[in-house]
Amino acid sequence: MRTDGLDLGLHAAGSPALGMLELSQVQWYLLLGTGIAVIGLVRMLLTSDLVARLIALNVTGIGSLMIIMALAARAAEPEGPVSDGAAGIDPVLSALVITGLVITVAFTGLGAVLIRRIEGSRDGDDAPDGEVQR
């Protein structure tokens, strides 16, 4: 039995534990990233609160970045037996994920400012902070 996978109870026919499926770490991250992205997307589509939508958009983005990182690790997996046991991660996809994190932080800040302006205009307070309406 492999120790690097997740045992879900579904093995291939003829194996000692009939009905067991093992997932590798990369497959586990792909599954988890997909689940997180779907949860964020569903929440973003079903809520009308702007702050909740912004948070759901961030959750969806994190899920997609997890998928990209899992694909980066999968792309770097060797085809044959590995002598040193170490598999690297594709540096281009890693750089893409880091760039995505920076862009996510920037757009979250922009979204928070826009939500504040929208909510302020709904309340009748159109003046920016520190200015007095006349």
Here the CATH number for the domain that contains residue 31 is 1.10.287.3510
Instruction: Tell me, yes or no, whether 35 lies in a domain.
Output: yes
Instruction: Tell me, yes or no, whether 105 lies in a domain.
Output: yes
Instruction: Identify the pLDDT of residue 54.
Output: 96
Instruction: Tell me, yes or no, whether 45 lies in a domain.
Output: yes
Non-local CB neighbours of 72 within 8 Å, separated by 6+ positions: 89, 90, 92, 93, 94, 97
Instruction: Tell me, yes or no, whether 102 lies in a domain.
Output: yes
Instruction: Tell me, yes or no, whether 84 lies in a domain.
Output: no
Domain that holds residue 59: 21-78+89-119
Instruction: Identify the pLDDT of residue 6.
Output: 54
Instruction: Tell me, yes or no, whether 95 lies in a domain.
Output: yes
> Structure tokens of 88?
């690297």
Please give the torsion angle defined by the CA atoms of residues 52, 58, 60 and 64, in that order, rounded to the nearest 10 degrees. 180
Instruction: Tell me, yes or no, whether 127 lies in a domain.
Output: no
Q: Residue written as tokens 């991660």? A: 89
Question: pTM higher than 0.85, yes or no?
Answer: no
Instruction: Identify the pLDDT of residue 91.
Output: 87
Q: Read off the pLDDT of each residue in 106-114 and give the average, rounded to a whole number.
A: 96
Alpha helices in the chain (DSSP H): 25-46, 50-75, 91-122
Instruction: Identify the pLDDT of residue 50.
Output: 94
Angle of the 25-46 helix axis to the 50-75 helix axis, nearest 10: 160
10-69 pLDDT, tens digit per residue, is: 544 455 555 567 888 889 999 999 999 999 999 999 999 999 999 999 999 999 999 999
Q: How many domains are contained in the chain? A: 1
Q: Kind and range of the H or E element at 23?
A: strand 22-23
